[in-house]
Amino acid sequence: MELQNQTALITGAGSGIGQATAILFAREGASVILAGRRADRLEAVVKEIEAEGGTARYVAADISDLDDVRRLAEEAAGVDILVNNAGIFPFASTADQTVEDFDRLFDTNVRGTYFLTAPLLQKMAARGSGSVVTVTTIADIEGMPNAGVYGGTKAALASLTRSWSTEFAGTGVRVNAVAPGNTKTDAVVDVLGEQELEEWARTGNPIGRIGRPSEIAEAILFLASSRSSFVTGVELAVDGGYTTRG
């Protein structure tokens, strides 16, 4: 098992990629703390993990609320691994972008992630080991219509990943990111619709299909675990080849 005797905090773990990551990490022996707003979803995943013999608990928290972020950081102060997966992705054309959604995107994806990561990184550095993996998107690597603000929030996280990886290099803490391509989660089906996803699968990805949450989780596991002990500061595209098309 890759993560025995490790504790991991995974945000947005009640659904989609975060849920798949929490289940995979628990199977690899980690004690998992799941965070998100919907306690019922988190509780269901905790029960699923426990039914398999794993160890998990949850903290209900809204990362767009700084008081909740501080409370979450305190409750998870001793974690060895942080997976910043929580995020929202309301797409909008430039003409239709509202100030409310602009602020909500930055408050959730960037400010919440920043002020959760900052104290946990410092605690990991003080202990001399740790791994942070942040989930970004290929929309911060490639131009994508209607994803300007969303892609901008994730580009900020990619930049923070590089900056933190250098600031904390030498402390035993590594900081990386995974940039998923289109991955079939309920949330993405809601935003894009089944038909557009199928079209994307046929024409968008050289590999000829869209991703599964478990495939993103495997990449997160690689970067979180000591298997990637010489890797820091990277943003790994897990996208069926989408970003290789140039």
Ligand X SMILES: NC(=O)c1ccc[n+]([C@@H]2O[C@H](COP(=O)([O-])OP(=O)(O)OC[C@H]3O[C@@H](n4cnc5c(N)ncnc54)[C@H](OP(=O)(O)O)[C@@H]3O)[C@@H](O)[C@H]2O)c1
DSSP state of 32: E
According to DSSP, the residues that pair with 232 across neighbouring strands are none
Sign of CA dihedral 151, 145, 94, 100: negative
- Please identify, using beta-carbon distances, which residue of 11 and 225 lies nearer to ligand X: 11
According to DSSP, the residues that pair with 238 across neighbouring strands are 180
- Please identify, using beta-carbon distances, which residue of 169 and 189 lies nearer to ligand X: 189
36: its two tokens: 């998100």
User: Restricting to residues 106-125, which ones interact with ligand X according to CB under 6 A?
Assistant: 108
- Determine if 205 is a binding residue for ligand X (CB under 6 A): no
First-to-final CA distance of the chain: 37
User: Restricting to residues 8-67, which ones interact with ligand X according to CB under 6 A?
Assistant: 11-12, 14-18, 36-38, 41, 62-64
DSSP state of 183: B
Q: How near is the Cβ of 127 to ligand X at its closest, in Å?
A: 25
Residue 10's contacts (CB-CB under 8 Å, 6 or more residues apart) are 18, 21, 22, 25, 32, 33, 34, 35, 83, 85
- Please identify, using beta-carbon distances, which residue of 6 and 85 lies nearer to ligand X: 85
- Please identify, using beta-carbon distances, which residue of 65 and 125 lies nearer to ligand X: 65
Q: Give the interface segment with ligand X, choosing from 25-33, 46-54, 79-87, 124-132 (CB under 6 A).
A: 79-87
- Determine if 155 is a binding residue for ligand X (CB under 6 A): no
Q: Other C-beta atoms within 10 Å of 195: how many?
A: 8
Q: How near is the Cβ of 5 to ligand X at its closest, in Å?
A: 26
Q: Which of 39, 236, 6 is nearest to 135 (CA)?
A: 236
Q: How near is the Cβ of 82 to ligand X at its closest, in Å?
A: 14
> Which residues make up the interface to ligand X (CB under 6 A)?
11-12, 14-18, 36-38, 41, 62-64, 85-89, 108, 135, 137, 180, 182-183, 185, 187-188
